[in-house]
Amino acid sequence: MTTGKPPMVELTQVTKRYPIGSVTALDGVSFAIAAGASVSIEGPSGCGKTTLLNLLGLLDSPTSGSVRWNGAAAGSLPERERARLRLSGVGFIFQRFHLLPTLTAAENVELPLRAARRPGPERAARVAELLERVGLTGRARAYPHELSGGEEQRAAVARALANGPGLLLADEPTGELDRTNADAVLDLLVEAHRESGAALVIVTHNPDVAARAARHLRMQDGRILSDSLAE
Amino acid sequence: MRGIGRGRSLRHLRFQTLLAIAAVGVAVALPVVLLSVGGGVAQHELRALQQSGFQVVVGAPGLHGVEGAHGLTTKIDALREVRAASPILSLPVTVFLPGGGQAPLLAEGVMPGAFLATVSPEESGLFPSPLPLGDPTDLHHFANGSYSGAAVNSMLVSSPFANSRSVTTGERLALSVTGNRSQSTVYNVTGTFGVPPSLLGPTGAFVAILPLSDLQLLAGEAQASDGSAIDAVDTIQVALSGSASSSPTTVAQVAQSIQSLVPYYDVSTLSQEVASLQRAESVLTGFYLALSSFSLAIGLVFLGVLLVRRVDALRSSIAIRRALGLPARSLAAEFARTALVLAGGGVVLGLLAGILLVRALAIYGSAGVAAVASLAVFDPVELGTLAAAVLGLAALLSLAATRSALRFSLPEALR
């Protein structure tokens, strides 16, 4: 796995404590993700999976320890810098989709492109390409409340891919979907990961979902219990 | 359930939005009314002052009046550029009517010739010309301060008074400054004069005009007990001739010449009085703005609270945008836009409400209110500045909402 290059993301002795209730969500976690890798993170509720994902995606900063992106300290950067890195480098897929309800599917996909100040024609072409890729060409003008759960999550995947991120972070991406839609979304994610070369991290309860990744982390009580490669 | 809750929340937000627009609207309407009506009244007064038939006034504030009026008038008349100098003595008197009744009246003692030369063009047509008050110079009766010349004993009464008391030309009325008929003097009514329409009060409605020396004698303003002349008046109004009257420099020079004649009296030019009125108007405008700032503050605080509450209501959407990496400036721009739209709506509403209210008062208000409201002036610069100030403050308020939107915890909001 080592290529001489620094890992894409590297956590060293990361601890995250929440002052309210003195909860330790992560306790001295260290691990690295190489560019293009696929990793699943499993564990029971409250074991720190989502906290770990938030730290990987720079949505949060650690109480102690370091989060490095491509060898550079990123976890302790000011929010403005972290936002810039998120915009260009991370694609998020949330369990509850988190599409903006006042925007159409196409506008939701366009949002990161607008934020990255891509020119209008380029945005339009990219949105069309992504919607086609996730099978939502005919639903481009639909608002989130007009979409099914599967369609919403596919739109969310398209949005996550918009700026060509190097890291795709999916937090229980199939948690609110039926089996058919769950499989379709997972297929999309894995396909996007393979085609774009982006690293994929999936947080899940579901062993079938976890099985789609090449590497498996198992967590409990804020620690990594095991870190193994798929057989 | 979630859908219902969100619907309620949206309705609640819409209601708050309407309230914020209404609050800013009410806050803007108040200064619109105050500034337009106050400014209109001030401009009306200024116009009236600027249209006066005289340019310089000699007065004696804090003293018993300008003494030696006849002699001083002669000296002022002799100055170059002076067309006429008109001494005026005003006193409240009691008039005893032929039918037995009595009434209060404002008596004005004037030099008939000079008086007509110093009234405004608007007023000049209201008086008979020449005034049927005998000697136009008032000097025969005055007789160098001895008041031994033949008295004229004539008076003119205003049409409103004549109509109200059924007084006609040729009648004889007794006037007294003490209210005691035994101390009255009888005058012949030799004519009537009109009163200019007055929007702002009953100025000059019940007035009589007498020869100056007659009124001075009646009021005890003619001679002292030792027989020396007092010859007092309230003011001397001085009209300049031709183009001199519209030249501020010449007016100031004439005023200076008069001041050198009477260094102990107050000599003011109309332009000074205009400036003084303008200063008073500025003070009043400041007062109106200070008063309005309370309502503006309340409206803007409401707007600020609404913006901050929007952050709570839109917490999830904001969190998604932030998570996607949208820069802070895009959130700031969004809140500024919202603040400007809400404040803009309030400003438009306030301007319309203020203007419509003033218009409605001018039509449906009681006589006095309608008269004042009809003078209102809607100065685009003033109203534009007010609107710009409200919009600027709203944009500043949006910073508080932006700050709030950038401070909450993302993981918590996305949970």
CATH number, domain containing residue A211: 3.40.50.300
Shortest CA distance from A163: residue in chain B = B324
B130 and B33 within one domain: no
Q: What's the token pair of residue A19?
A: 């002052």
Please tell me which residue of chain B has the smallest CA distance to A88.
B325
What average pLDDT does chain B have? 87
Percent of chain B with pLDDT over 90: 46
Q: Do B200 and B154 fall within a single domain? A: yes
Chain A CB contacts of B327 below 8 Å: 80, 83-84, 87, 115
CB A74 within 8 A of CB A45: no
Question: Which residues lie below 8 Å from residue B360, measured CB to CB, with a gap of 6+?
Answer: none
| A3 occurs within a structural domain | no
Lowest mean pLDDT among A175-184, B42-51, B164-173, B304-313: B42-51
User: What pLDDT does residue A67 have?
Assistant: 94
Contact present, A53 and A169 (Cβ < 8 Å): yes
Q: Spell B77-87 as b/e; 16+ CB within 10 A means b.
A: eeeebbbbbbb
Whether the CB of B403 is below 8 Å from some CB of chain A: the reply is no
Residue B200: band (very low, low, confident or very high) from pLDDT cuts 50, 70, 90: low
Which residues does chain B have within 8 Å of residue A99's beta carbon, measured at their own beta carbons? 320
Establish if A4 belongs to a structural domain: no
Which residue in A100, A110, A118 has the most chain B C-beta atoms within 10 A of its own C-beta, making it the best mutation to test that interface?
A: A100
**Cβ–Cβ below 8 Å for B410 and A54:** yes
For residue A90, the chain B residues in CB contact (below 8 A) are 325
Chain A CB contacts of B326 under 8 Å are 83, 87, 111-112, 115
Contacts of B30 (CB under 8 A, 6+ apart): B291, B292, B295, B354
pLDDT given for residue B62 in this prediction:
65
Hey, are the CB atoms on B317 and A102 less than 8 Å from each other?
yes
Angle B307-B311-B316 (CA atoms, 0-180°, nearest 5)? 155
* Bridge-based pairing state of the strands A64-69 and A38-42: unpaired
pLDDT by residue (tens digit) across B349-367? 999 999 999 999 999 988 7
Number of domain units in chain B: 2
- Separation in Å, CA A48 to CA A29, A95, A215: 10, 16, 18
The distance from CA B211 to its chain's CA centroid, rounded to whole angstroms, is 31
Distance CA A114, CA A119 (A): 8
* φ and ψ at residue A225, rounded to 5 degrees: -80, -45
Hey, are the CB atoms on B325 and A50 less than 8 Å from each other?
no
Separation of alpha carbons B189 and B168, rounded Å: 7
Are B323 and A98 an interchain contact pair (Cβ–Cβ within 8 Å)?
Answer: yes
pLDDT at B241 over 80: yes
**Strands in B42-96 per DSSP E:** 56-59, 82-96
Vertex A63: Cα angle to A60 and A64 (nearest 5): 120
Residue A1 lies in a domain: no
B9 touches chain A (CB under 8 A): no
| A98/B328 CB distance under 8 A | no
In this prediction, residue B201 carries a pLDDT of 52
Tell whether B18 and B136 lie within a shared domain. no
Residues B219 and B327 grouped into a single domain: no
Say what the pLDDT of residue B199 is.
58
Q: Please, what is the Cα angle at A45 between A42 and A47, to 5 degrees?
A: 70
State the alpha helices, DSSP H only, in chain A. Answer: 49-56, 79-89, 105-115, 120-133, 149-161, 179-196, 207-210
Nearest to A80 among B323, B328, B414 (CB): B328
Determine contact, residues B249/B255, Cβ cutoff 8 Å: no
What is residue A98's DSSP assignment?
-
Q: Which residue has the higher pLDDT, A214 or B249?
A: A214
Q: Is residue B312 part of a domain?
A: yes
- CA distances from residue A107 to A128, A156, B127 in whole angstroms, order as listed: 11, 11, 79
Please give the interface size between A and B, counted as residue pairs whose CB atoms are below 8 Å apart. 59
Mark yes or no for CB contact A90/B325 under 8 Å.
Answer: yes
Q: Which of B317, B321, B324 to mutate to test the interface with A (most CBs of A within 10 A)?
A: B324
**Structural domain boundaries enclosing A81:** 9-229
Chain B hits for A55, CB-CB cut-off 8 Å, are: none
Structural domain boundaries enclosing B410 = 2-48+276-414
C-beta atoms of B411 and A50 within 8 A: yes
> Averaged over B119-142, what is the pLDDT?
88
Which residues are registered as beta bridge partners of A223?
A220
B259 and B280 belong to one structural domain: no
How far, in Å, CA of B300 to CA of A107, rounded? 33
Cβ atoms of A212 and A40 within 8 Å: the answer is: yes
Put simply, whether B410 touches A (Cβ < 8 Å) is: yes
Give domain status of residue B271, yes or no: no
DSSP string for A107-143: HHHHHHHHHTT--HHHHHHHHHHHHHHTT-GGGTT--
CB–CB contact A83 B316 (8 Å): no
Subunit contact B410:A59, Cβ cutoff 8 A: yes
B194 in any annotated domain: yes
Is B152 in the same domain as B216?
yes
Flag whether B294 is in a domain. yes
Is residue B152 predicted with pLDDT exceeding 60?
yes
The verdict on a CB contact (< 8 Å) between A83 and B414 is no
pLDDT for the residue A206 = 87
Bridge partners of B185, per DSSP, are B175
Angle between helices B367-374 and B328-364 (to 10 degrees): 130
- Of the pLDDT bands very low, low, confident and very high (cuts 50, 70, 90), residue B212 is very high
Exposed / middle / buried, residue B186 (Cβ in 10 Å: 0-12, 13-18, 19+)? exposed
Identify the pLDDT of residue B4: 37
Domain boundary among B229, B264, B299: B264
Q: Residue B40 has what pLDDT?
A: 87
| B310 min Cα distance to partner chain A (Å) | 15
pLDDT of residue A125: 96
Residue written as tokens 């519209």? Answer: B246
Close Cβ partners of B365 (under 8 Å, ≥ 6 residues apart): B373
A182 in any annotated domain:
yes
Same-domain check for residues B117 and B252: yes
Strands B102-110 and B82-96: antiparallel
In eight-state DSSP terms, residue A40 is: E
Domain co-membership, B178 together with B303: no
Q: Is B414 on the interface with A (CB under 8 A)?
A: yes
Question: Is B70 within the bounds of a domain?
Answer: yes
Assess if residue B78 is contained within a domain. yes
Q: What are phi and psi of B45, to 5 degrees?
A: -65, -40
Is residue A120 in some structural domain? yes
For chain A, list residues with pLDDT below 50: 1-2
Q: Is residue B321 part of a domain?
A: yes
Examine the domain organization and report whether B77 and B163 are in the same domain.
yes
A-chain CB neighbours of B325 within 8 Å are 83-88, 90, 112, 115
Q: Please tell me the total count of domains within chain A.
A: 1
d(CA A107, CA A111): 6
Residue B223 and residue B77 in one domain: yes
B366 and B233 inside one domain: no
Task: Tell whether B406 lies on the interface with A, counting CB pairs under 8 A.
Answer: yes
Q: Are A88 and B325 in contact (CB < 8 Å)?
A: yes
Diameter over CA atoms, chain B: 107
Q: pLDDT by residue (tens digit) across B254-303?
A: 999 999 999 999 999 887 777 887 888 888 888 888 888 888 888 888 88
A89, A167 contact by CB (below 8 A): yes
Provide φ and ψ at B346, rounded to 5°. Answer: -65, -40
- Angle at which helix A120-133 crosses helix A105-115, to 10 degrees, equals 130
Helices B270-313 & B315-324, crossing angle to 10 degrees?
80
Kindly state whether residues B335 and B226 are assigned to the same domain: no
Can you give the pLDDT at residue B198?
A: 62
**Looking at the DSSP assignment, which residues form a beta bridge with residue A224?**
A219
Residue B55 inside a domain? The answer is no
